[in-house]
Amino acid sequence: MSGPVLHVTGARPNFPKAAPVLRALDSLGVPQRLLHTGQHYGEQMFEVFFRQLGLPAPDINLGVGSGTHARQTAAIMTGLEDVLAEVRPALVVVYGDVNSTVAAALVAAKLGVPVAHVEAGLRSFDPSMPEEVNRMVTDRLSDLLFATSPDAVAHLGNEGVPAGRIHLVGNPMIDTLLANLDRFDETAARAAHHLGGRYVVATLHRPANVDGAGDASALVKALHGVAAQVPVMLPLHPRGRDSLQRAGLFDHPGVRVIDPLGYVEFLGLVRGAAAVVTDSGGVQEETTMLGVPCLTIRPNTERPVTITHGTNRLVTRERLADEVERCLAAGRPQTWPTPPLWDGGAGARIAGVIRQFLDGRS
């Protein structure tokens, strides 16, 4: 092995996925470096996750900050090119589908550095989603493709990826959830937010829901329909805050907008919810494991396993209030299916494949 494994993270969803992989590789004695691009930054979007998940401080922080997709991706690529020339990693590991992921894959591929993609093969088949473009490009450039579910393996095979590159390993984000399960305190969450009865948690930030004035207005109307039945706790992502505010989000007393929460606090709140309303991919997975009814306001999902083996349902904005009413009437399920290999061992499986790959190149 000519150099360390370089992990590239950039946004909140990356951190719970990276943590078990870093720990598992460390237990195998594999030299590693951790790079944070700074795509998400600040206490609640970055620092609290590293602290709560026991992640080491990044060895390198590019500090790129916010920007359009093109500007942010370009800034990450420029910074990474210099880092890869200096560090000369044996492998670059990227996570999920954010701009940092595709930027790192492009730079590494052009410099001849192998790439491993954790969470490969997920497809919404909706090219209007920037994340779908990021997923497809990253998978095309990757040498090791770590899939979280059988449907992802099938998508990669259909796209012509050689079977030897594809590894069904399970979901490392679920490793992190299961390792921290005892810390998700719904009683503390209720006390912190003065919640006595049932409530719904909402997380919404996708461009299709919050960018356009018409979309934001329709989403706010839907959330007000939910708030007429039960309080809605909305940790609001900076993205889309202005458009939702202009659409009247704050006009209903039942919608309680709060700042983004840390990993432990957020999942404590989710664990006690009657239902979750989201457009986030990761939240679909977390609710699947926690047994919380999840209503995803999207026409599609790249995580269909959360529907077939979980508690997730796709809904329209127009039907949201009715679907929440149905959830409230039905109550929380007592039992529910969970996807294969979502068992807390994904990090170790990924580390084993990486160790074997590196040994084969030494």
Task: Look at residue 109 and tell me if it is in a domain.
Answer: yes
Of the candidates 127, 111, 79, 106, the residue with the CA atom closest to the CA atom of residue 2: 111
Q: What is the pTM of this model?
A: 0.94
pLDDT tens digits for range 212-262: 999 999 999 999 999 999 999 999 877 778 899 999 999 999 999 999 899
| Catalytic site residue from 7, 69, 117, 205 | 205
| Token pair recorded at residue 289 | 């494991």
Report which DSSP code applies to 43.
I
Task: Look at residue 158 and tell me if it is in a domain.
Answer: yes
Domain count, the chain: 2
Q: Identify whether the C-beta of residue 284 lies closer than 8 Å to the C-beta of residue 306.
A: yes
162 in the same domain as 117: yes
205 part of the active site: yes
User: In the chain, which ranges are E strands?
Assistant: 5-9, 32-36, 60-61, 91-95, 115-120, 144-147, 166-168, 200-203, 232-235, 255-258, 275-278, 294-297, 312-315
Range of the domain at 195: 184-330
166 in the same domain as 194: no
Return d(Cα 362, Cα 359) in angstroms, integer.
5
Residue 43 has pLDDT above 50, yes or no: no
Ramachandran area for residue 331 (φ above 0: left; ψ -120 to 50: alpha; else beta): left
> Kindly report the CA angle at 253 between 250 and 254, in degrees rounded to 5?
105
Q: What is the CATH number of the domain that holds 264?
A: 3.40.50.2000
pLDDT tens digits for range 168-203: 999 999 999 999 999 999 999 999 999 999 999 999
162 in the same domain as 21: yes
Residue 67 has pLDDT above 80, yes or no: no
Return d(Cα 85, Cα 333) in angstroms, integer.
52
320 in the same domain as 205: yes
Q: Order of strands across the sheet with 115-120?
A: 60-61, 32-36, 5-9, 91-95, 115-120, 144-147, 166-168
- Confidence (pLDDT) at 46: 62
For residues 12 and 147, the model is more confident at: 147
231 in the same domain as 164: no
% the chain with pLDDT above 70: 98
